[in-house]
Amino acid sequence: MDTWIEILQTAVHAPSPHNVQPWRVRLLSDGEADLLMEKRRTLPKEDVTGSFIILTMGLFIEALAVLAANRSYELTYRLHHEPSAYTPEKIERAEGDLLTFARLRLRQVSGLRPSGFDDALFLKRRTSRVTLSPAPVPAEAARALADLARAWGQRYEQFSDSPLIERVLARNTDALFEDLNAPGYHDEIVEWFRFTDRAARRTRDGLDYRCMNTSRLAFWLAAKLPSLLRSAALRPVFRRTYRRQLGTVPSVAVLAGAFWRPEEAFETGRFLLRFWLEAARHNLYIHPYGNLVTNRAAAGWCLRELGVPDIWLIFKIGFSAVPPKSYRRSVEEVLIA
C-alpha cells in the first residue's frame, strides 16, 4: 500500500476550517480505501448548514485525486451517502465518532497526464495572517484565478479600493467580536485554540498562536475574556490592535456561486483545492475572513456593500513573507485499522 501512504504524506497538508483535519482513512487494499469523517472535528455551532465540513471532505478527495494523477494513478470515489447526510443535525444523531464518507479507488493508468499541480504546491500553500506586500495581484494571476473559477461554475471578484477594504475589515472585526461573545460559537472555536508551541505540537491541529499573527496575551484574552471585546472602554483598543495585526491588505477578494446546498458544497470543495493551489503557483497567499459569511448579519452587509450574490468565501490576497505553517497530524494518526 505504498502508493496510498505516499499520496497521504502530502494530502495531509490540505487546508480545513480552523485546521480541524476531519478526515480519517482506512486502507483496504492496494486499490481501495475508505474515507471517513471524524465527528468531533466538525463545527456545528459555526457551520450551521454543514456546508463547510462537506466542502472540506470534497477538498480532501480532490487533493488525493491531484496527487494520484501526478503518479499516473486515477482516483475515483463513490460516496457512501448523499452529502445531505452530513448536516449538523444528522451528524449529531449518528452513532459513533467515525462516519463513513466515501469509498476510494486507485487504478494505474498508462499515459495518464499529471494534474498540472506539482506536489510542492501543497507545502507552499498556506494561510497568511501576516501583513501583505502593497504590490497588487498581477493581472495575469487574477485572470488565471477568475478563469479557473468560471470553469467550475464559480465567480472570482477582486477589490482594491482602499476605503472599501477598510470597511470590509471593520465589518469583519465587528462580526468576529460578536461571534466570540456567542456562547455556542465561543466554546466551539476556543476548543481549537493552541496557546503554546507545546500544545500545538502535541495535537498537531487547531489554531496555533504562531500562525495567528497575534500575541499570546491577546489570543488568550479573546478566548478567556471575550466580554472585554464588548467593553465600551476597551473595545476601541482591541479593534485598533486587531487592525494592526491584519497589516497591509492591498486586495480583498470573494468567491461566489453554488455552495449552500450539501451537493453544491462537495463540488465547491473540489474547486477550492485547485483554486488555492493555483494561487500558490502565482506566489499568492490568502487569509479567509470566515465570520463575514457565517455571521448572517455580516453576510447581508457584504451583499449590499460588494454587490456580489452568493458569496461563500471572502479573503485578503497578495504577496507576503513566508508565514508560519500549522502543524499537521501524521499519516499514522490519520489512518485507522
Q: What is the pLDDT along the chain (337 residues), one digit of tens a residue?
A: 899 999 999 999 999 999 999 999 999 999 999 999 999 999 999 999 999 999 999 999 999 999 999 999 999 999 999 999 999 999 999 999 999 999 999 999 999 999 999 999 999 999 999 999 999 999 999 999 999 999 999 999 999 999 999 999 999 999 999 999 999 999 999 999 999 999 999 999 999 999 999 989 999 999 999 999 999 999 999 999 999 999 999 999 999 999 999 999 999 999 999 999 999 999 999 999 999 999 999 999 999 999 999 999 999 999 999 999 999 999 999 999 8
The length of the chain, given as a count of residues: 337
Burial of 286 (0-12, 13-18, 19+ CB in 10 A): buried
Separation of alpha carbons 55 and 16, rounded Å = 9
**pTM for the predicted model, two decimal places:** 0.96
Question: Is 2-122's fold the same as 125-318's?
Answer: yes
**3-class SS at 321?**
coil
Are 254 and 40 within 8 A, CB to CB?
no
Beta-carbon contacts of 311 under 8 Å, excluding residues fewer than 6 positions away, are 254, 255, 256, 293, 299, 302, 303
Give the CATH number of domain 2-122; options: 3.20.20.140, 3.50.50.60, 3.40.109.10, 3.40.47.10.
3.40.109.10
Tally Cβ neighbours within 10 Å of residue 52.
25
Separation of alpha carbons 311 and 299, rounded Å = 8
Q: Write down the residue that cell numbers 476531519 correspond to.
A: 22
Q: Report the top-level CATH class of 125-318.
A: alpha beta
Tally Cβ neighbours within 10 Å of residue 228.
17
What is the predicted pLDDT for the residue at 1?
87
Separation of alpha carbons 248 and 71, rounded Å = 40
At what angle are helices 2-11 and 51-69 packed, to 10 degrees? Answer: 130
Where b means 16+ CB within 10 Å and e means fewer, 12-29 reads: bbbbbbbbbbbbbbebee
Domain ranges of the chain: 2-122, 125-318
Separation of alpha carbons 207 and 225, rounded Å = 18
**76-121 residue pLDDT tens:** 999 999 999 999 999 999 999 999 999 999 999 999 999 999 999 9
